[in-house]
C-alpha cells in the first residue's frame, strides 16, 4: 500500500520541516511513527492509503490531517475521473466519507473535506487541476495562519519567560510552523524565552519524540519532563505559560485536545499560571454547543499496555485509552487564532469570529 522515498523539500532554518508534500502526482508524508530514529517519507497514490495513514498516525495533528485529507481528495478525484468521466463526482462521495471516518475528533478533517467538496461541486471536465489548487491553498493558508498566530501569541509573553507545551503542535502537526509551537518559535526568535519545557505525552510520546525532534532540529533548546512532573514544575514557578493547541473548540469555548490537557489547565488555574490555547479558525466548531457533544476518539488498550513494541503492563491488566479530553472554557486564559487574541474566551466572544 505504501512506497517509501527519501526526505526533501526543506524550508528555512527556523521552520525547516514539511511533513506533507505534494510531489508531482502523489502525496508524500513524513512517517511520524518512525521519528526521531528514522526520517522516512511514504508515497501515497489513493484515498484508501491516505485514510489508513491518518488512522495509523503516519500523520497526526488536527490541521495536518485536514490538509492530508484535502490531498487525498485530489488523488481520489483523479482515480474516479479516470474510471468514469461522467460519474466521478458521485463516486468521489464514498472516498470523502472514507477519509472523514479516519479519525473522529479533530474538526479540521471534516472542515477541509467540506471545502474540497464545495470546490468539486458542479465541475465538468478533469477536476484534478482545480482540486489540487484548492488543496495547495488550504495548505498555504494554514502555514500563513500559523505565522500570524505565532506573532499574536508571542506578543502576550514577557521577556525572560519559560513555557511548557504539550503533545506536538508544530510543523509536524500542521502545514508548517505550528500552532502552540508556532507561538513558541516566534517568542524564541524574539528573544523572550529562557526555557521551553515539553511534556512527554503518553502514550504516543508526541512530546519527547516529535516536539523535541522539531525543536532541536530548528536549534531551539528543549527540556523534557514526564507528564506527571507538570504540577511540581508549576508549583516551583518554573513556567509563566502553558501553551497548547486544540483539535476542536466548541461554540461555548470548550477546548478538546490531547488527553492530559485538562490536567494542565486545572494545575495552571490553581497556581495562577497562564493557560494559552492556539488554534486556527478551521479548528472552531460552531455546530456543537459544548465539548460534551464531541466524539472523543478511543484508541487501542495496547497503546497504554506497551511502550513501542514492548509490553510494560502486568499480564492480565486492561487499559482505558481516550485520545483527547475536554477543557472547560472557563479554564482557558486566552485563545489565539489568526484573527487575534480572545482573553477569557466564552460563547459571546467566540461568536464574533463566526460572523467575521
Should residue 61 be labelled a site residue for ligand MRU when binding is judged by CB under 6 A?
yes
Residues 205-224 interacting with ligand MRU (rule: CB under 6 A): 206
Catalytic residue selected from 31, 247, 254, 333 = 247
Decide: helix, strand or coil at residue 202. coil
**Residue holding cell 516529535?**
210
Enumerate long-range contacts of 5-8, CB under 8 Å, 24 or more apart.
Answer: 5/41, 5/42, 5/43, 6/41, 7/39, 7/40, 7/41, 8/41
Question: Which residue from 54, 120, 173, 233 is in contact with ligand MRU, where contact means CB under 6 A?
Answer: 173
Closest CB 231 distance from ligand MRU, rounded Å: 20
- Residue nearest ligand MRU, CB atom distance: 245
Should residue 60 be labelled a site residue for ligand MRU when binding is judged by CB under 6 A?
yes
Other Cβ atoms within 10 Å of 240 Cβ, number:
18
Stretch of residues binding ligand MRU (CB under 6 A), selected from 61-69, 147-155, 336-344, 345-353: 61-69
Contact 262, 186 (CB under 8 A): no
Strand partners, 199: 225
Q: Tell me which residue of 244, 237, 155 sits closest to 199, measured CA to CA.
A: 244
Residues 282-321 interacting with ligand MRU (rule: CB under 6 A): none
C-alpha–C-alpha distance, residues 85 and 311, integer Å: 50
Should residue 179 be labelled a site residue for ligand MRU when binding is judged by CB under 6 A?
yes
Should residue 172 be labelled a site residue for ligand MRU when binding is judged by CB under 6 A?
no
Closest CB 315 distance from ligand MRU, rounded Å: 27
Stretch of residues binding ligand MRU (CB under 6 A), selected from 47-55, 60-68, 88-96, 326-334: 60-68
Closest CB 142 distance from ligand MRU, rounded Å: 9
C-alpha–C-alpha distance, residues 319 and 142, integer Å: 36
Closest CB 201 distance from ligand MRU, rounded Å: 8
Stretch of residues binding ligand MRU (CB under 6 A), selected from 58-66, 92-100, 232-240, 304-312: 58-66
Q: Tell me which residue of 196, 245, 218, 212 sits closest to 61, measured CA to CA.
A: 245
Stretch of residues binding ligand MRU (CB under 6 A), selected from 57-65, 188-196, 227-235, 284-292: 57-65
Should residue 148 be labelled a site residue for ligand MRU when binding is judged by CB under 6 A?
no
Supply the DSSP symbol for 110.
H
Should residue 112 be labelled a site residue for ligand MRU when binding is judged by CB under 6 A?
no
Should residue 167 be labelled a site residue for ligand MRU when binding is judged by CB under 6 A?
yes
Q: Tell me which residue of 21, 335, 31 sits closest to 183, measured CA to CA.
A: 335
**Residue holding cell 502576550?**
156
Residues 245-284 interacting with ligand MRU (rule: CB under 6 A): 245-247, 257-258
* Residue 247 falls in the annotated catalytic set: yes
N-terminal to C-terminal alpha carbon distance within the chain: 42
- Count Cβ atoms within 10 A of the Cβ of residue 52 and give its class: 0-12 exposed, 13-18 middle, 19 or more buried: middle
234 half-sphere exposure, CB direction, 13 A CA radius = 23
Closest CB 166 distance from ligand MRU, rounded Å: 7
Phi and psi for 323 in degrees, rounded to 5? Answer: -85, -15
Closest CB 177 distance from ligand MRU, rounded Å: 10
As annotated, the active-site residues are: 247
Q: Which residues bind ligand MRU (CB under 6 A)?
A: 60-63, 106, 167, 169, 173-174, 179, 206, 245-247, 257-258, 323
Amino acid at each position: 500500500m505504501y512506497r517509501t522515498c527519501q526526505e526533501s523539500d526543506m524550508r528555512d532554518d527556523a521552520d525547516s520541516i514539511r511533513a506533507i508534500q505534494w510531489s508531482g502526482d502523489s502525496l508524500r508524508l513524513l512517517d511520524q511513527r518512525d521519528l526521531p530514529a528514522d526520517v522516512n517519507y511514504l508515497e501515497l497514490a489513493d484515498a484508501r492509503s491516505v485514510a489508513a495513514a491518518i488512522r495509523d498516525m503516519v500523520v497526526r495533528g488536527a490541521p495536518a490531517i485536514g490538509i492530508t485529507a484535502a490531498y487525498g481528495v485530489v488523488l481520489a478525484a483523479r482515480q474516479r475521473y479516470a474510471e468514469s468521466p461522467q460519474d466521478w463526482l458521485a463516486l468521489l462521495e464514498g472516498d470523502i466519507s472514507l477519509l472523514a471516518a479516519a479519525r473522529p475528533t479533530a474538526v479540521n478533517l471534516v472542515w477541509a473535506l467540506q471545502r474540497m467538496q464545495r470546490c468539486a461541486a458542479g465541475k465538468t471536465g478533469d477536476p484534478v487541476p482545480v482540486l489540487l489548487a484548492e488543496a495547495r491553498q488550504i495548505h498555504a493558508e494554514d502555514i500563513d495562519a500559523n505565522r500570524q498566530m505565532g506573532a499574536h501569541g508571542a506578543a502576550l509573553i514577557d521577556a525572560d519567560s519559560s513555557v511548557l507545551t504539550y503533545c506536538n503542535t508544530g510543523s509536524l502537526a500542521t502545514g508548517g510552523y505550528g500552532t502552540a509551537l508556532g507561538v513558541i518559535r516566534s517568542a524564541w526568535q524574539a528573544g523572550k524565552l529562557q526555557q521551553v519545557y515539553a511534556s512527554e505525552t503518553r502514550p504516543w510520546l508526541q512530546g519527547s519524540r516529535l516536539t523535541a525532534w522539531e525543536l532541536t532540529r530548528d536549534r531551539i533548546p528543549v527540556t523534557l519532563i514526564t507528564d506527571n512532573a507538570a504540577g511540581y514544575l508549576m508549583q516551583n514557578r518554573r513556567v509563566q505559560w502553558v501553551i497548547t493547541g486544540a483539535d476542536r473548540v466548541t461554540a461555548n469555548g470548550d477546548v478538546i485536545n490531547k488527553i492530559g490537557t485538562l490536567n494542565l489547565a486545572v494545575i495552571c488555574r490553581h497556581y495562577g499560571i497562564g493557560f494559552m490555547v492556539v488554534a486556527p479558525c478551521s479548528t472552531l466548531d460552531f455546530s456543537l454547543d459544548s465539548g460534551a457533544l464531541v466524539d472523543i476518539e478511543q484508541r487501542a488498550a495496547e497503546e497504554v499496555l506497551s511502550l513501542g513494541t514492548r509490553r510494560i503492563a502486568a499480564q492480565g491488566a486492561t487499559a482505558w485509552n481516550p485520545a483527547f479530553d475536554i477543557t472547560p472554557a472557563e479554564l482557558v486564559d486566552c485563545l489565539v487564532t489568526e484573527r487575534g487574541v480572545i482573553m477569557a474566551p466564552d460563547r459571546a466572544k467566540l461568536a464574533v469570529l463566526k460572523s467575521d
